[in-house]
């Protein structure tokens, strides 16, 4: 099985998507929702047992952190196992249907936290978008249709082009974050 884009690339796309969506929507997301966007950007690959989240959270040296993360880790690993056994990798979680199944409860249960909802949905969507740039594409209309690619041929995983694309997304993320935070611009002497 070919590997997908790596976790760092997806994390950068998640941050860029949140900052970009916030700019467009006129929102002002607090710093603590950025990690939520990164986690959501890793979530679609939970159907791959070897992905960042599908593998469960890696064990840390801190025993207290281990106890706290174990239930989450167990849920992630079980979800991963069930998904890979039932629908396989890069199917449901990388489709419009899967994105809606993720977004719906977010909007229902986190209606009082619009910034967190935006972070989660933007992060998740950014993953599907980034994978659509990849050679393998994404099955947007799963369970029907063929994989969809945004670029002819697509970007190979793990190559120099992936690094360049990730750097481009990083620049876009930094630009959007600076636009969102005038105080940060002032701090850096950009105004």
Judged by the rule CB under 5 A, the positions of this chain that interact with Zn ion are: 4, 45, 131
Instruction: Decide whether 22 or 42 has the Cβ nearer to Zn ion.
Output: 42
Expressed in angstroms, the distance from the first to the final Cα of the chain is 49
Closest approach of Cβ 62 to Zn ion, in Å?
A: 29
Least distance between Zn ion and beta carbon 45 (Å): 4
In degrees rounded to 5, what are phi and psi of residue 138? -130, 140
Number of CB atoms found within 10 A of residue 120's CB: 26
Least distance to Zn ion, CB of residue 131, Å: 4
Inter-residue contact 57 to 69 (CB < 8 Å): yes
The dihedral sign for the CA sequence 24, 30, 36, 42: positive
Would you state the structure tokens that stand for residue 184, as one six-digit string? 């940060």
When the beta carbons of 29 and 123 are compared against Zn ion, the nearer one is 123
For Zn ion, the closer CB: 91 or 117: 91
Q: How far is the CB of 134 from Zn ion (least distance, A)?
A: 8
For CA atoms 154, 157, 163, 167, give the dihedral sign: positive
- Choose between 22 and 46: whose C-beta lies nearer to Zn ion: 46
């Amino acid at each position: 099985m070919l590997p997908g884009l790596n976790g760092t690339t997806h994390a950068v796309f998640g941050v860029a998507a949140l900052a970009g969506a916030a700019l467009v929507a006129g929102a002002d997301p607090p710093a603590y929702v950025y990690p939520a966007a990164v986690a959501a950007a890793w979530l679609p690959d939970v159907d791959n047992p070897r992905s960042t989240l599908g593998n469960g959270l890696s064990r840390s040296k801190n025993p207290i952190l281990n106890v706290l993360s174990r239930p989450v880790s167990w849920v992630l690993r079980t979800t991963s196992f069930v998904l890979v056994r039932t629908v396989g990798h890069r199917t449901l979680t990388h489709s419009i249907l899967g994105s809606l199944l993720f977004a719906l409860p977010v909007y229902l249960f986190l209606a009082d936290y619009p910034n967190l909802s935006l972070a989660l949905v933007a992060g998740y969507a950014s993953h599907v978008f980034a994978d659509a740039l990849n050679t393998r594409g994404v099955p947007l209309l799963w369970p029907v249709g063929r994989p969809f690619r945004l670029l002819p041929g697509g970007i190979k995983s793990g190559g120099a082009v992936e690094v360049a694309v990730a750097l481009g997304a990083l620049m876009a993320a930094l630009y959007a974050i600076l636009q969102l935070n005038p105080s940060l611009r002032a701090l850096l002497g950009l105004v």
